[in-house]
Structure 1
Amino acid sequence: MGQVGARIVLVAAAVAAGLVMGSCAALPTDSEPEVIRRFDAPTQASPDIRPEPNSDPDMLLRDFFAASAVPAANYEGARSFLTEQARQAWDPSTSTIVVDRISINTLAGGGETQSFNVQGNVVGELLPGGAFVPTRQGYEATMELERVDGQWRISSLPPGTVIERSEMRNRYQPYNVFYYARGAREIVPDRRWVHAGRDSLETAVISLLLAGPSTRLRDVVDFEIPPEAAYTGVQDGAYAFTGLSKLSENQRVRFASQLVWTLSSIGINRPVAITADGDPLVPGVETFSREDFADANPQASHAAEDNLYTLANQSLFKVDDGKAEPLDGQLAEQGSIASADIGAGGNYAVVTGKDGEQVLKIGEFDKGSTEVARAKNFTRPAYERGKAGVWVVADGKRVVRFTRAATGEFASSDVAVDMPDGVDGSISVLRLSPTGVRAVMVVEGTLYTGIVEQDQGGQRRITNVLEYAPDLAGNVIAADWQADGSIVVGTSNPGSPVVRVEQDGSGTTGKPIGNITAPVVAVAAGAGMVYATDANAVLQMPDSADGAAEATNWREVPGLQGVRSVPIVAR
């Protein structure tokens, strides 16, 4: 039985015994009933956004784009920059394009009218529901202004909104809503950007949860919430829902898990009470907490344990308590290993031999291994979560998944990859996310991510492949997933040798350069720690994604001082 399955049994046992889990003392205050199903544009009062009197036309246009990042009251602030006719015609809901910066140049004009050319490099699009999709293309439009009662106003503009990335970061905040991976026991984070000016952040993320997964994840997660389900606010200290009568007890427990972790993403970490149509969501259970569903969240379970290994001089070592102990005697491949990955419970996959004639072997410590494939070269193997399978790229092109049957025999299946048009280079890195739903690849020094779909027969396919971090294009050497869903990247760029890339591709953040030297040829992420192999040694730095002050210098990994090796975090 899986970990989450065991948790569900425990909750069911608590129900049968009439157990009371926690108390309601620390729950939110009551709110007025408000039926929410879908995520709509914020309807709270618009902030005081108005054109500055006597603004020059180009400045008024810039202020309009800044106001377009505030969706309150159906973009009432941005509409105040338009003529009455344009105000009635403009539909801001068609799209929200995010550009790096907006360039405004005069085309023609004089007297009472003025035309401007607006340009920018598109970095992504903010979809309805707050999902960010990275895009790499240009933006260009013509906008016209005219004087109204002596003041410049916009008289002609294209539909949709255009905002600078800095305005998106200033006006919106990213949060995760969670859905269960299809047919699995783990929840998958679905990152959304919510306007920071919303009156109720709780209502915003709950309505996002009820509205369903983002387009990119729709085919790889379960969505069990019935269409008639609605959130009616906090009543008698409990998050109240209607329309959940069709859910089974197991589905109700899963919904509670999704809600608990979604609320946790906005800082609500206390036990929560949940009602369905006036009764407890699960009979006999008063509150649910993160501890009840800790095993469902790979981010939480990953943080609980960090097994660090390293590959040095073609041999594997276990790093523990400041010492690196060779695994001699535990695997026969010592002294000939080119790359490796280590899964749960002592499972390992290694590539042996020199480039041009390599062998992939899969085995268990102290139990031996089996040769499963040969090729001119392989990427570093990648374990799925829970050791279900091993992935590798043979000769830069062929993605293969290996699984072990109950008989002990290994079977292989090719994994199709739907690369964007024009991308046909060799894949040098392939890593699977902690949930197994996402894959990150490095193709000719450029970073890509895709979604791992699975058909009814179990066949995998990597779809919805998008380029991430175009500013790093051509310089990426190594990449791996961090527990929170972001990606740590090693590059050949001396100005940004290690970079954090957000889960949705919405931005990059360079880790402090300090004493690390490009090229960074290997990276790994453990429990609160980032590891990187630079030109001299394997280094570590605490991960500061939680907003804590970041160290300025990297440190050598205790036990590996003076050793240039490849870090491996077992999962």
Structure 2
Amino acid sequence: MVAALVTGAAVLLGGCASLPESSTPQAIGTIAKEPAVTSVPAPTPGREPDLLLRDFFGASTDPGGRHAAARQFLTQRASNSWDDTASTTIVDKVDVLPESRSGDQATYTIRANRVGQLEPGGVYQAVEGNFEAKVRLTRVDGQWRIDELPAGVIMDRPQFLKTYQRKALYFLDPSGSTVVPDLRWISAAQQDMTAQLIDMLIAGPKQSLAGAVLNQAGKVSVKGPITKADGRSAGVGIGFGGLRVDFQGASALDQPAKDQLAAQVVWTLANAEISGPYVLLGDGKPLDDRLPNGWTTADVSSTNPMASATSMVGLHALSNGALVAVTDTGVSPMPGYFGTGPGIRSIALSRDGKLAAAVADTGRTAPDPASALMVGPIEGFASPVVEGATMTRPTWSLGDNSVWTVVDGSRVIRAARDLNTGQLVTAPVDTTEIGSLGATVSELRLSRDGVRAALIVDGKVYVATVRHRPDGTYALGSARPVAVGLGSPAVSLDWSSGDAIIVARAASDIPVVTVAVDGSRMDALPSRNLTPPVTSVDASATTAFVADSRAVFQLNNNDPAGDRYWREVPGLTGVKAIPVLPG
């Protein structure tokens, strides 16, 4: 599995989709983000049947005209009966094994590793397992053609990555204050990308996010053609010049809803490298009279979840069971409970750095609870909230209005301050939908937009959707595996962006990887300078921090690819500690 991870990292798509104003990890050994090949193969005269089959898989990556390119490789009978809408399976390491062959007939067995499933709307689902199918070919006018094949489309992963591009649609968290990425895989020419992305925004989020995000784009439609900002229709989405789009029905929205619609459109197009300014109209009039000449990402920067207070709060660390602030020259103990109370096992700072939540040793032995969740001002007194035998590292929600942890490996608890009494009140989070994942949840981290949770369950990595119900309760659901083929158990994780997770795994060769939130990508991070085991990871948009067997190290995402390696954190040189960032 380790070898598979290294090999897979070398062929996965480069460039994690992320907000343009945030820094993205530089992937190791990935291919270019834009398609390397824009054409698909046509049948070559005299082609041997096994090679023709491989060409067919390459042609299957073009979905245009009901896979018209791939149908060239089929007999008329097979083309008439082939249901290309049944499924889309992405495979790796394809073997074409001969089973029988006569003068005009040949049968082959296709064996491969299943790595993904492409669902309607360009939604990628990571899967694993074996794929096997039989394909029969026959000669037609002296040329081999496929006469019998299974329903659905089979795509070889390298060909898939050359033809499809991963883009992010942006919806809104339930409060409407920040955008949430929804990754999709699209096969479209750049000049068609703008219209396709906006159409997909209007169509709404993927099923796993339905009910968990807002979509102002779903209340409008596009009126007339999308043009460049100067009104020209040619080359929309290519080069400079911006674009103009008129949304029918947008004039009925109030101004906050118009601003939210603009945020969705601007972040989606800017992330797709479609240049602005974006002249956005509602029934012929500007969405905002102050921006008649177009919107930019600066105009919607308040909805960027990556624009957090992390840089203002700074790095902290848990050392000898107490919280310390880290400077370039050393560490200084924090005042109050968290800086003086010994026995803190894990801790999380609120995103504004004003509060802390810690799992502390109660000093009691079984059957009494050994751990307590303590919450309070970062420099003040802390109150006990809940107790249990074990607890995961706490994690803060968007807005710092609640803190979550997993008690005794299975009970997810949300602690929030009661608006009437001011007291911290705990409530269980409904985990019915994710209960079948495994026995023990050892890590839970909320995304910065608050809409997703990354979990480690029995050493495997999942991403679930956070649902806020009308009655005020919360639930976790729609969990999907995202680190298929990780090879070794995951021991720690954190969000580096809204669509990527950093995972520390129990391995000495590749101890840290990044994983896309849809499971489509896994990239090995450098291991230079690390001394496994890596026991903890914490991340911001620009930097990853880990604790290994010796010290705390950092990896700067903005370093050139050839100069990326883990450096010991100034101020923590030679100190055994756990890095702590807000969240």
**Normalising by the residue count of structure 1, what TM-score does the alignment of the two structures yield?**
0.87
Q: Aligned letter for 1:240?
A: V
Number of aligned pairs?
Answer: 524
Match among 560, 567, 579 for residue 567 of structure 1? 579
Match among 91, 99, 102 for residue 94 of structure 2? 102
Q: Aligned letter for 1:423?
A: L
Task: Identify if the C-alpha distance between structure 1 residues 367 and 327 changes in structure 2 by more than 3 Å, giving closer, same or farther.
Answer: closer
RMSD, aligned α-carbons: 2.2
Aligned to 1:195: 187
Tell me if structure 1 keeps the 8 A contact 2:372–2:387: yes
Task: Identify if the C-alpha distance between structure 1 residues 168 and 269 changes in structure 2 by more than 3 Å, giving closer, same or farther.
Answer: same
Aligned to 1:293: 300
How far is the alpha carbon of 1:127 from its aligned partner? 1.8
Task: Identify if the C-alpha distance between structure 1 residues 247 and 202 changes in structure 2 by more than 3 Å, giving closer, same or farther.
Answer: same
1:78-477 matches, within 5 Å, as 78-195=70-187, 197-226=189-218, 229-230=221-222, 232-234=225-227, 236-237=229-230, 238-244=243-249, 245-268=251-274, 270-286=276-292, 287-301=294-308, 305=312, 307-329=314-336, 331=338, 333-343=340-350, 344-353=352-361, 357-406=370-419, 407-418=421-432, 423-477=437-491
Tell me if structure 1 keeps the 8 A contact 2:337–2:382: no
Q: Aligned letter for 2:267?
A: W
CA offset digits 1:259-301 (Å, max 9, x no partner): 1111110124543211233222234531222112112110244
How far is the alpha carbon of 1:549 from its aligned partner? 2.0
In 1, the alpha carbon distance for the partners of 2:562 and 2:467 equals: 36
Aligned to 1:19: none
Aligned to 2:511: 497
In 1, the alpha carbon distance for the partners of 2:395 and 2:449 equals: 13
Q: Aligned letter for 2:58?
A: A
Q: Aligned letter for 2:357?
A: A
Task: Identify if the C-alpha distance between structure 1 residues 421 and 264 changes in structure 2 by more than 3 Å, giving closer, same or farther.
Answer: same
Gaps of 5+ in 1: 1-45
In 1, the alpha carbon distance for the partners of 2:333 and 2:274 equals: 44
Tell me if structure 2 keeps the 8 A contact 1:379–1:430: yes
CA offset digits 1:71-108 (Å, max 9, x no partner): 23432221111112222332323322112332222223
Q: 2:449 aligns to what SS in structure 1? A: coil
How far is the alpha carbon of 1:366 from its aligned partner? 3.2
Match among 488, 506, 512 for residue 526 of structure 2? 512
Q: Aligned letter for 1:454?
A: H
**Residue range with higher mean Cα deviation, 463-472 or 245-254:** 245-254
Tell me if structure 1 keeps the 8 A contact 2:334–2:340: no
How far is the alpha carbon of 1:548 from its aligned partner? 4.8
Runs of 4+ off more than 6 Å: none
Aligned to 2:27: none
Tell me if structure 2 keeps the 8 A contact 1:198–1:204: no
**Residue range with higher mean Cα deviation, 432-441 or 198-207:** 198-207
Aligned to 2:21: none
How far is the alpha carbon of 1:369 from its aligned partner? 1.2
Q: Are 1:521 and 2:524 an aligned pair?
A: no
Aligned to 2:567: 555
Tell me if structure 2 keeps the 8 A contact 1:47–1:72: no
Q: Are 1:540 and 2:554 an aligned pair?
A: yes
Tell me if structure 1 keeps the 8 A contact 2:114–2:130: yes
Q: 2:429 aligns to what SS in structure 1? A: strand
Q: 1:359 aligns to what SS in structure 2? A: strand
Task: Identify if the C-alpha distance between structure 1 residues 114 and 474 changes in structure 2 by more than 3 Å, giving closer, same or farther.
Answer: same
Tell me if structure 2 keeps the 8 A contact 1:358–1:374: yes
In 2, the alpha carbon distance for the partners of 1:510 and 1:302 equals: 28
Gaps of 5+ in 2: 1-37, 231-242
Tell me if structure 2 keeps the 8 A contact 1:97–1:125: yes
CA offset digits 1:412-460 (Å, max 9, x no partner): 1111224568533211111111111111111221111111111102211
Q: Aligned letter for 1:558?
A: P
CA offset digits 1:467-503 (Å, max 9, x no partner): 2212225421110111242000011111210000012
Task: Identify if the C-alpha distance between structure 1 residues 86 and 420 changes in structure 2 by more than 3 Å, giving closer, same or farther.
Answer: farther
Percent identical among aligned pairs is 31
How far is the alpha carbon of 1:306 from its aligned partner? 5.9
Tell me if structure 2 keeps the 8 A contact 1:240–1:277: no
Task: Identify if the C-alpha distance between structure 1 residues 560 and 332 changes in structure 2 by more than 3 Å, giving closer, same or farther.
Answer: closer
Q: Aligned letter for 1:215?
A: Q
Task: Identify if the C-alpha distance between structure 1 residues 264 and 558 changes in structure 2 by more than 3 Å, giving closer, same or farther.
Answer: same
Aligned to 2:238: none
In 2, the alpha carbon distance for the partners of 1:369 and 1:489 equals: 30
CA offset digits 1:53-75 (Å, max 9, x no partner): 21111111111111111223432
In 2, the alpha carbon distance for the partners of 1:342 and 1:227 equals: 37
Task: Identify if the C-alpha distance between structure 1 residues 246 and 449 changes in structure 2 by more than 3 Å, giving closer, same or farther.
Answer: same
How far is the alpha carbon of 1:551 from its aligned partner? 3.0
CA offset digits 1:202-261 (Å, max 9, x no partner): 222222212211111112011233566126211553422242244333222211111111
Task: Identify if the C-alpha distance between structure 1 residues 298 and 230 changes in structure 2 by more than 3 Å, giving closer, same or farther.
Answer: same
In 2, the alpha carbon distance for the partners of 1:213 and 1:88 equals: 33
Q: 2:437 aligns to what SS in structure 1? A: coil
